[in-house]
A and B are shown apart, each in its own frame.
Chain A
Amino acid sequence: MNASGDERPSTSEHPELPGTEKQYQRFSRLNRVLHILMIVSFISLALTGMTLKFSYTGWAQFLSHVLGGYESAGFIHRFAAVIMLGVFVTHIVDLARRKRREFGTWKNLLLGSDSMLFNKKDLHDFIGNVKWFLHKGPRPQYGRWTYWEKFDYFAVFWGIFVIGSTGLMLWFPELFTNIIPGWMLNVATIIHSDEALLATGFIFTVHFFNTHLRPEKFPMDLVVFTGRMEVEELKEDKPAEYEAMVQSGKLAENLVEPYPPIVIRAIRVFGWTALSIGFSIIIWIIYAMLFAYR
């Protein structure tokens, strides 16, 4: 983490590359690891699942063979599902630990200013944002978590519940039909597949735009991988959080050394890979839904 040796100036093509100034740490290491695992498992699930959903397209047939056949694809799908579930459980456990260490009670954690739960400010921010979109007001002073970030966060909860539960039914149909009738498996298939379509579609378009593609972050925001962002950027992007930090004097506590360029480059490669796969899947979905749908 502490890479003081490398003093090379940033390259001209990426003016936002970290220099030697200390940066604000937004995400813990665990959260970053979980996010990477989430990306890997999510993309794996999407790719393998889509081959079945869009089995009528040549792309699906090609991909299925690249993945080693439907059985191997199925294995990857279930393996990734387990990882994602692991990510989810780890996050919950981490929350519980942080509650104990930093907040004391669930109430403090859930209702504090840094909570992921939606609160009144989010409603105001949303209204303010729409006004700003329409040139009817100033840009809202976003706090630590914007409402769209919270939306993405809870989308995972919803997705884990809906896709995960139906996925288990389809994974163990013999077991589940001891309780539910056979036709429920058909229903589960539709829910599983359409909810997955919603999740992939949303992540690879709306989420990608909100975090990476919007002009001030273009082409991607590395904060979720490095965990660090420049203080200037924080000031610009989350003014309310910056103000709070400055006032409580906690900003200095959260300043860390930036990563060396080699790490940044590796992160970029990973990020680009994930982005490209995501976009490819979107193109594939559009093609499958609009031009090859049956």
Chain B
Amino acid sequence: MRTSLLILAASVSLAFPVNAQENSDCLMCHSDKSATGTRKGKTISIYVNEAKFSGSIHGSLTCVGCHAELAGKEMPHDEDVAKVDCGTCHSSEQELHAKSLHGKAIKRGDPLAPECKNCHGSHDIYGVKDVRSQVAPLKIPFLCGKCHQEGTKVMQQRTIHQDHIVENFSESIHGEGLLKKGLIVAPNCASCHTAHSILPHTDPSSSIARKNIASTCARCHAQIEAVHRKIIRGELWEKQAHVLPACIDCHQPHKVRKVYYDLGMSNADCLRCHGNKDLKSSRDGRSLYASGDELSHSRHAKIACSQCHAEVNSSHVRPCETITKKVECSSCHEEVGQQFVKSMHGQLLQKNDVNGPTCKECHGTHGVRGKIDPKSATFATNIPKLCARCHREGEKAAVRYKGDEHDIIAHYTESIHGKGLMKSGLTVTATCTNCHTAHGVLPKSDSLSSVNRKNVPETCGRCHHGIQEQFENSIHHEKVGKTDKQLPVCSDCHSAHTIQRADAQGFKLEIMTKCGRCHEEIAKTYFDTYHGKVTQLGYTKTAKCYDCHGAHDILPVADPKSKLSHDNVVGTCQKCHEGANRRFAGYLTHATHHDPQKYPFLFWTFWGMTGLLVSTFVFGGMHTLLWLPRALQMKREAKRKREANSVKTDATTNNETNSDDTQQ
């Protein structure tokens, strides 16, 4: 365009070497669509659209008015005509542009730097208000976007600190107003960045410099001070009276979001009434006192009253009279809120069940603290107490609960988790919420529950991950154990709330009954051999199920990886019996003498021994029983004889011999 203009001027002056240069003189050559010239050795078109030019804002001007170099030259003029200097007429714009980012780039010789005609055009320049203009408000985002959108050379090769400028702008409320609603008063690029004096925000004279932002925005939002929310995040919006803060701190450039806040209220406004300890509801007499002190120490210290107590209207004398709804925590805690609604607690609430706890039941109200705050009711060590309020035996949740877990709080306290938490003070120990989740609490019958059978290994595995990995490779996990019977999960052996250390005496003595719930026969026969008998006496030192079979990594004996496989069994015995050999491992740890098919040797040995025993006792017993009456009779006779003797001796001898006689 630039070159054609120059060529036009040159050729006009060459063709018509006369003084009176009318535009028609120039157009004699330049109206030819196929006319060409050269510029810096390149062939270019020198065509000028007469109709467009005469309709443009410069239509009434002469060609040589701009192409001043050609004034008075002979026509046709030389090639390589000089650039038009817009500044001749538009000196102030020229000046601003020269100081701007764009102008400085031109000075540096940056080939990407834009000149006047790159934005405004050449022979087809229209006024800003003309819809045909390239710089009409609606077209500006596209005009700037020619260089400032993703993928352009400018964005790729020059340092531009923002990205997706045009896209973000078009989605912002400003862009929407302009591009979707056609509001030509909506701001475009030039509204903020200015048209000619575009400067980086680091330049103090820039319209987007931090200190100038407010006034730039206020050019449109002139009365923002009157309507802007006063308290933001518990702080005054304006640090100093009537000094607007930098708008972009909240409303990011190009991304000005569509966020509508309720009309602001400062906490002090609320506490004027609610700071009074005697304030009571006229409806039900409950206290309406809100402690500012409590709030200031809470997690919500920087949240304004009206952010939770929405619907206040500051234009009312009593701004809170417009409140119709309870505090809705999920307006900020949205994800948690969605989880809660699906939980048992949330379901009860939706049914208007009085037992359904709301957020504040656990978290409190104005004094809400984060779970990492030891003073919080939701701090790990406080959670059992918190849940116990309803779930302790006799309390409302325990009363309506119809399952088989009872005394859960008492049991938990005595469990290894409870001891770890409450006695050892380990805050990483599992507490109620670690297993049941905090907001997604569901009964174990629900397949989505964290304590549902199929989810238990994963829930426990959140802490006991190594065990979970072992367990998933064991016969007890559905990946390995193919059976239509129910496979065990962690809680079947370890219980839920009475869980104790696996090296505790109680656990060791109970494990046989735990395994025995499914492995009935094999658990019974365990007690027929030495290991089991000692265990039955209440000692834990002899081998238990898991000592031989493994615990979480249990596998069937046929599996080569099993602790009892042919290759491993001797080693397993050697854990306790150092000198164990292959034959030693042939000891039948589950032997019973009641099964003639499986253990004929034992069966017949037992019955052989029993036969011997019974026959010996029958023989001995008969012998004794026959003897007894005879012996008694003999004793009676001996006594009678003795008495008869003593009577005889009495008659013949002195009574001094009495003692001798009784000896006989």
Residues on A close to B: CB < 8 A?
A: 9, 15, 19, 21, 51-53, 55-56, 60-61, 64-65, 69-71, 129-130, 132-135, 139, 148, 170, 173-175, 177-178, 180-183, 185-187, 189-191, 194-195, 197-198, 201-202, 205-206, 209-210, 214-216, 232, 236, 294
Residue in B closest to A73 when the chains form the complex, CB atoms: B537
Q: How far is the CA of A186 from the CA of B609 in the complex (A)?
A: 14
Indicate whether B602 reaches chain A with its CB closer than 8 angstroms: yes
Among listed B64-72, B396-404, B630-638, interface-contacting one: B630-638
Instruction: Please give, as numbers and ranges, the residues of chain B lying within 8 Å of A65 by CB-CB distance.
Output: 538
Whether B529 sits at the interface, judged by CB under 8 Å, is yes
- Please, could you name 20 A-B residue pairs with CB atoms under 8 Å apart, sorted by A? A15-B663, A55-B533, A65-B538, A70-B537, A70-B541, A173-B587, A174-B577, A174-B578, A174-B580, A177-B586, A178-B581, A180-B583, A182-B585, A186-B588, A187-B602, A190-B606, A209-B624, A209-B627, A214-B631, A232-B663
Q: Are A177 and B584 in contact (CB under 8 A)?
A: yes
5 nearest A-B residue pairs (beta carbon): A182-B586, A174-B579, A194-B609, A206-B620, A133-B626
Using Cβ atoms and an 8 Å threshold, which residues of chain A touch B621? 205-206
Which residues of chain B have C-beta atoms less than 8 A from A185's C-beta?
Answer: 587
| Residue pair B602, A190 in contact (C-beta under 8 Å) | yes
B623 within 8 A of A: yes
Which residues of chain B are near A216, meaning CB under 8 Å? Answer: 631, 634-635, 638
Q: Judge whether B635 and A190 touch: CB under 8 Å.
A: no
CB distance from A287 to the nearest CB of B (A): 16
On whether the beta carbons of B626 and A130 are closer than 8 Å, the reply is yes
Q: Chain B nearest CB: distance from A198 CB in Å? A: 5
Q: How far is the CA of A39 from the CA of B225 in the complex (A)?
A: 109
> A79 CB to closest chain B CB, in angstroms?
18
Residue with the highest number of chain A CB atoms closer than 10 Å, among B530, B541, B612: B530
CB pair A206–B623 under 8 Å, yes or no, is yes
List 14 additional contacts besides A133-B630, A178-B581, A194-B613; criterion CB under 8 Å: A15-B662, A70-B541, A130-B626, A134-B626, A170-B530, A174-B577, A177-B580, A183-B588, A183-B591, A186-B587, A189-B530, A190-B593, A194-B612, A209-B624
Q: Does B659 contact A (CB under 8 A)?
A: yes
Q: Chain A interface mostly helix, strand, loop or mixed?
A: helix
Contacts A52-B533, A52-B537, A201-B617: A187 and B601 contacting too (C-beta < 8 A)? yes
Q: How far is the CA of A155 from the CA of B635 in the complex (A)?
A: 29
- By a CB distance below 8 angstroms, the chain A residues around B536 are 55-56, 60-61
Report B582-615 residues with CB < 8 Å from chain A CB: 583-588, 591, 593, 599, 601-602, 605-606, 609-610, 612-613
Contact, CB under 8 Å: A201 / B584: no
Q: Does B379 contact A (CB under 8 A)?
A: no
Please state if A197 and B586 are interface contacts (CB–CB under 8 Å): no
The reply to whether the CB of B527 lies closer than 8 angstroms to some CB of chain A is yes
Distance in angstroms between the alpha carbons of A236 and B634 in the assembled complex = 11
B586 touches A61 (CB 8 A): no
CA distance A61 to B584 in the complex (A): 28
Residue pair B612, A198 in contact (C-beta under 8 Å) = yes
CB distance from B636 to the nearest CB of A (A): 9
Q: Determine the distance from Cα of A132 to Cα of B627 in the docked complex, in whole angstroms.
A: 9
Contact B577 A194 (CB under 8 A): no
- B628 close to chain A: CB less than 8 A: yes
Residues from chain B with a CB closer than 8 A to the CB of A195 are: 609
Contact-residue size bin, chain B (C-beta under 8 Å from the other chain): 35 or more
Given contacts A61-B538, A191-B609, A215-B631, are A232 and B664 in contact (CB under 8 A)?
A: yes
Given contacts A56-B527, A61-B538, A190-B602, contact A214 B627 (CB under 8 A): yes
Question: What is the CB-to-nearest-CB distance from A66 to chain B, in angstroms, rounded to a whole number?
Answer: 12
Q: Which among B537, B606, B613 has the greatest number of chain A C-beta atoms within 10 A? A: B537
Once bound together, how far apart are the Cα atoms of A69 and B581, in whole Å? 28
Q: A210-B624, A214-B627 are in contact. Are A186 and B583 (CB under 8 A)?
A: no
Say whether chain B's binding surface is mostly helix, strand, loop, or mixed.
helix
- For B602, give the chain A residue with the smallest CB separation: A186
Chain A residue with minimal CB distance to B539? Answer: A70
Given A61-B538, A134-B626, check contact A183 B586 (CB 8 Å).
yes
B584 touches A190 (CB 8 A): no
User: Could you say which residues of chain A place their CB within 8 Å of the CB of B527?
Assistant: 55-56, 294
Q: Is B54 on the interface with A (CB-CB < 8 A)?
A: no
Given known contacts A133-B626, A185-B587, A186-B602, A201 and B613 CB-to-CB distance under 8 angstroms? yes
B534 within 8 A of A: yes
B89 → chain A closest CB, angstroms: 113
Measured between beta carbons, the chain A residues less than 8 angstroms from B92 are: none
CA distance A40 to B52 in the complex (A): 134
- CB of A277, distance to nearest CB on chain B (Å): 20
Set of chain A residues within 8 Å of B534, measured between Cβ atoms:
52, 55, 70
> CB distance B630 to A132 under 8 Å?
yes
Q: Choose from B530, B620, B634 the contact partner of A202 (Cβ within 8 Å).
A: B620
Known: A130-B626, A183-B587. A9 touches B659 (CB 8 A): yes
User: When chains A and B are docked, how far (Å) is the Cα of A216 from the Cα of B631?
Assistant: 7
A183: B residues at CB distance < 8 A: 586-588, 591, 601-602
State the CA gap A19–B538 with chains docked (Å). 53
Instruction: Give the residues from 512 to 537 in chain B that come closer than 8 angstroms, CB to CB, to chain A.
Output: 527, 529-530, 532-534, 536-537
The chain B residue with its CB closest to the CB of A180 is B583
A144 to chain B: closest CB distance in Å? 20
Q: How far is the CB of B623 from chain A (nearest CB, A)?
A: 7
Would you call A186 and B613 a contact (CB within 8 A)?
no
Please state if A198 and B591 are interface contacts (CB–CB under 8 Å). Answer: no
Q: Is the CB of B583 within 8 A of A133?
A: no
Q: Give the interface centre of B534, B581, B638 by most chain A CB atoms within 10 Å.
A: B534
In the complex, whether B616 has a CB less than 8 A from a CB of chain A is yes
Kindly state the separation between the CA atoms of A186 and B601 in the bound complex, as whole angstroms: 9
Minimum CB–CB distance for A232 against chain B, Å: 7
Distance of A135 Cα from B609 Cα, bound (Å)? 35
With A and B bound together, what is the CA distance between A15 and B662 in angstroms? 8
Q: Which B residues are CB-close (under 8 A) to A55?
A: 527, 532-534, 536-537
A191 to B613, CA, bound (A): 11
Complex contacts, A15 vs chain B, CB 8 Å: 662-663
Contacts A52-B533, A52-B537, A215-B634 given; indicate if A202 touches B617 (C-beta within 8 A).
yes
B530: which of A52, A174, A177 is its contact (CB, 8 Å)? A52
A190 touches B605 (CB 8 A): yes
Give the residues in chain A near B662, CB-CB below 8 Å. Answer: 15
- Chain B residue with the shortest CB-CB distance to A19: B663
Chain B residues with CB under 8 Å of A56's CB are 527, 536
From B605, B612, B626, A187 is in contact (CB under 8 Å) with B605
Enumerate chain A residues within 8 angstroms of B588, measured Cβ to Cβ.
Answer: 182-183, 186
A187 to B608, CA, bound (A): 11
List of A residues within 8 angstroms of B606 by Cβ: 190, 194
Q: Contact: A69 with B593, CB < 8 Å? A: no
Contacts of A232 in B (CB 8 A): 663-664
Contact partner of B586 among A19, A53, A181, CB < 8 A? A181
**Cβ A202 vs Cβ B616 within 8 A:** yes
**B581 adjacent to A174 (CB under 8 Å):** yes
**Is B635's CB under 8 angstroms from A215's CB?**
yes
CB distance from A60 to the nearest CB of B (A): 6
For the complex, give the distance between the alpha carbons of A190 and B635 in Å. Answer: 42
Contact A194 B627 (CB under 8 A): no
Residue of A nearest to B626 (CB): A133
- How distant is the Cα of A91 from the Cα of B272 in the complex, in angstroms? 108
| CB-defined contacts of A61 to chain B, threshold 8 Å | 536-538
Quick check: B613 and A197 within 8 Å, CB to CB? yes
Residues on A with beta carbons closer than 8 Å to the beta carbon of B584: 173-174, 177, 182
CA distance A181 to B578 in the complex (A): 17
Query: Given A64-B538, A190-B605, does the pair A177, B583 have CB atoms closer than 8 Å?
Result: yes
Residues of A within 8 A of B585 (CB): 182
Interface centre among A190, A191, A205, A232 (most CB of B within 10 A): A190
* A51 CA / B587 CA spacing, docked (Å): 22
Closest to A135 in B: B630
Chain A hits for B599, CB < 8 A: 186
Q: When chains A and B are docked, how far (Å) is the Cα of A51 from the Cα of B537?
A: 8
Q: Is the CB of A190 within 8 A of B609?
A: yes
What is the bound-complex CA distance between A183 and B634, given in angstroms?
A: 53
